[in-house]
Amino acid sequence: MSFVSEFNSLPLESLVKRSLAANPDSIRDSLVKSKLSLADFAHLISPAAGGFLEHMGRRSHAMTQQRFGKVIRLFAPLYLSNECVNNCKYCGFSRDNPILRVTLSVEEVLREARSLAAEGFRSILLVAGEHPKFVSNNYLRDCVAALRAGWPGISLEVGPMEAGEYRPLTAAGADGLVVYQETYDRAIYDDLHTAGPKKNFDWRLETPERGYAAGFRRIGIGALYGLADWRYEALSVAAHADYLLRNCWKAQITISLPRLRPCAGEFQPLTHMTDRELAQLICAFRLMFPDVGLVLSTRETAKLRDGLIPLGITLISAGSHTEPGGYTGAGKEKIHHTERGKIVELAAGASEWAATPENATNATGQFQIADERSAEEVATLIRRLGYEPVWKDWDAALTA
């Protein structure tokens, strides 16, 4: 049995209706419980619970400090490659987008990593599009092995694999796996993923379990808000996290809350979640899952992040680039187009999504970030909020 069979039997439509119809009494009843059900979670993300946001925020803040202490962990994404065989309508890296592409060599990855280490980072998220030719398993293993000595926290956000394919990566030193379902609405998922292996909804949905079986000790999940009804997505993520907590209990589970940002291809969000609803959702996740890590990326503006962090966030990125070579310009001389898996030389001015002059490389980013502050500026902000910025919270020696 996997989460797929549990997911298929979830009464998600009726839980959304329950949420939309929740009243102050049902919300109060849910708020006094020590352990929340999915129905209680539906109440906490309801329109009516918007009136309880201050109360939920105070409880969420206190619960987070009790479980995690006054610390915020920092990590940086390092994009290895923007090659991809999938067409995901909402993503700048989609196969058919005429963007500027590159895959960094292991040496270039180390150059990018050294730049991040100089800023203080010790936890890194290696991100790549899904392309077996350019981003092979051996390539990923070599990147992880090269980084292992200097990076106590190495997570992967790459194309889903079989457990047996993940094992060389965990053996090489990768300890975290991040895989967003993007949308848990099957019909919308099918419409948005027009080509490539990612079309297989169930295969993706089972990925965290395969990663756990392969030995990853941190598993990150989430939905990309802006594709389907946000309450439907949030209920699905909550059910997924609940399943993983019961079945993958040795791993630390994290939930990310990314909202869609502008990208190549100019895809427009299909649904909207307000800033206030995002704050409400952070609180609801915390009250439902006291020990789950909550992740906030640079997709949100500096001002909003400053306000959301104390509500229950435990892990944030900072100073991020979403293009390979974005920190140092590594790989700049190899930029190209890719057509049907073949590298095509660039014509001058070939892409309107070419990077702006202030960027280090001309490779196209996955999406535009909104919080452009440096890592040090974000660390200073964290201290000002009364937290300690944590760059490293694990060492491989602890597992020996």
Note the residues at the interface with ligand SF4 (CB under 6 A): 84, 86, 88, 91, 93-94, 129-130, 198
Q: Which is nearer to ligand SF4, 196 or 293 (CB)?
A: 196
Cα gap 333→313, rounded to integer Å: 39
Q: Which is nearer to ligand SF4, 84 or 223 (CB)?
A: 84
Distance of CA 153 to the CA centre of its chain: 15
Q: Which is nearer to ligand SF4, 129 or 326 (CB)?
A: 129
Q: Which is nearer to ligand SF4, 84 or 177 (CB)?
A: 84
Dihedral of CA 379/255/130/189: which sign? negative
Q: Considering the complex, what minimum distance in angstroms separates the CB of residue 82 from ligand SF4? A: 7
Q: Considering the complex, what minimum distance in angstroms separates the CB of residue 125 from ligand SF4? A: 14
Cα gap 285→312, rounded to integer Å: 9
Q: Considering the complex, what minimum distance in angstroms separates the CB of residue 311 from ligand SF4? A: 27
**For the chain, how many residues are written?**
400
Cα gap 239→218, rounded to integer Å: 18
Cα gap 66→110, rounded to integer Å: 37
Q: Which is nearer to ligand SF4, 45 or 179 (CB)?
A: 179
Q: What is the dihedral of CA 255, 260, 263, 264, to 10 degrees?
A: 100
Distance of CA 126 to the CA centre of its chain: 11
Helices and strands in the chain: count of H runs, count of E runs: 15, 13
How would you class 354 by CB atoms within 10 Å of its CB: exposed for 0-12, middle for 13-18, buried for 19 or more? middle
Cα gap 141→205, rounded to integer Å: 23
Q: Considering the complex, what minimum distance in angstroms separates the CB of residue 198 from ligand SF4? A: 5
Q: Considering the complex, what minimum distance in angstroms separates the CB of residue 365 from ligand SF4? A: 11
Q: Under a CB-based contact definition with an 8 Å cutoff, are residues 54 and 277 in contact?
A: no
The CA R_g of the chain, rounded to the nearest whole Å, is 20
Q: Considering the complex, what minimum distance in angstroms separates the CB of residue 301 from ligand SF4? A: 22
Pairing between strand 71-81 and 388-390?
Answer: parallel
Q: Considering the complex, what minimum distance in angstroms separates the CB of residue 234 from ligand SF4? A: 20
Cα gap 53→276, rounded to integer Å: 9
Q: Which is nearer to ligand SF4, 25 or 96 (CB)?
A: 96
Q: Which is nearer to ligand SF4, 165 or 377 (CB)?
A: 165
Q: Where are the beta strands (DSSP E) in 298-365?
A: 315-317, 337-339, 342-344
Q: Which is nearer to ligand SF4, 26 or 183 (CB)?
A: 183
How would you class 73 by CB atoms within 10 Å of its CB: exposed for 0-12, middle for 13-18, buried for 19 or more? buried
Q: Which is nearer to ligand SF4, 181 or 314 (CB)?
A: 181
Q: Considering the complex, what minimum distance in angstroms separates the CB of residue 331 from ligand SF4? A: 17
Q: Considering the complex, what minimum distance in angstroms separates the CB of residue 96 from ligand SF4? A: 9
- Two tokens at 234? 């949030």
Q: Which is nearer to ligand SF4, 90 or 391 (CB)?
A: 90
Q: Considering the complex, what minimum distance in angstroms separates the CB of residue 79 from ligand SF4? A: 10
